[in-house]
Amino acid sequence: MPLDHYVTLGRSGLRVSPFALGAMTFGDDRGGAGCGVEESEKILETYLDRGGNFVDTANFYTNGHSEKILGDWFAARPGRREHVVLASKFFGNMFPGDPNGGGAGRSSIVAQLEESLRRMRVDHLDLYWLHNWDRHTPIEETMRALDDLVRAGKIRYVGFSNTPAWVTAQAQTTALLRGWTPLIALQVEYSLLARTVEGELAPLALDQGLALLPWSPLKNGFLSGKYRRGGDVADSARAAFVGGPDEHQHAVIDAVAAVADDLGTTSAAVSLAWLRGRPGTVVPIVGARRVEHLEANLAALDVTLTAEHLRALDEVSAPTLDYPAPMHGAQRAMLQFAGATVDGEPSEVYPPLLSDVRY
């Protein structure tokens, strides 16, 4: 499947590529973790030339340099920006000492958007994300401010990232009841090594028709294929997990590598293909510090996992979900259906519920 086989983003009319390009690594204004302007532009060109149309960044990435790189590139190529879904995020405070420099209050959202539009040299964004939950601001203030920006033509669509499911549900319900612009997507951490999103946020997204955009789909590189038992790889991912992968993570990494060997592809491609096969609309965000990293990730578009592969990966990576998720599986069916099959779901008779017992 090529990048120009588009999908509709959630319950909207916005069509995007099956992989979004994450520009978090664009720019070298913070600690050398990103890449320079020239390499960033090569990565962007490679993605767009292959049919990609969905580019994601944030005001906070590389201290604003990421947005500026994107803005300069599009400004130098008239006509290209109109055919790209450009997304950025607000929340991160870039003005030390200013309590209103970040967050999700009305004044700060407007100010952050104006700064992003200035750096990106555009008059609107196609998708604007809340980067994190602002627990000091009423959610209705945030949603009304975003709706006003949509009505003003400054943004087109709205999404949430890294926000609890109960807050997200409150925001979506409030918007729908009041006729404000609803959410169309959630940006979440999701990978074979990070599946706890399946407890609350993923079911909410499926119910509300929200797309999921997984960030860190390779778990800081642990699913790239570089990390194998007995190996020693020193890079940013090693710093993210002091001491390296634990036994459970190694088991997942080994299972992914086995599937990759079976299909003649890479662990990264298998991991990304697994994500794309999850329920609902799932559009992984792929990042890169070099063009070859991007090319390796895009190889996932040509990977088809068999039912056996999916079963093996699902089982080895099965997450331990927080309460009340454990109550919603077999025990729920046992208590609710008492041995009957409903909507194709069988159940057993819960031992105390014997049909011949009467009180």
Q: Which of 175, 115, 181, 190 is nearest to 152 (CA)?
A: 181
What stretches of 150-279 adopt beta strand conformation (E)?
155-161, 183-189, 211-215
What does DSSP assign to residue 182? P
Q: 159 forms bridges with which residues in the sheet? A: 129, 185
**DSSP H or E segment with residue 15:** strand 15-16
**With helix as H, strand as E and coil as C, how does 274-333 read?**
HHHCCCCCECCEECCCCHHHHHHHHHHHHCCCCHHHHHHHHHHCCCCCCCCHHHHCHHHH
Alpha helices in 90-219 (DSSP H): 106-120, 139-151, 165-178, 201-208
What does DSSP assign to residue 93? -
What does DSSP assign to residue 6? -
Q: Which of 321, 316, 197, 300 is nearest to 249 (CA)?
A: 316
DSSP 40-72: HHHHHHHHHHTT--EEE--TTGGGGHHHHHHHH
Q: Strand 7-8 vs strand 15-16: parallel, antiparallel, or unpaired?
A: antiparallel
Whether 61 is catalytic is: yes
Residue tagged active-site, from 61, 157, 190, 227: 61
* Residues recognised as catalytic: 61
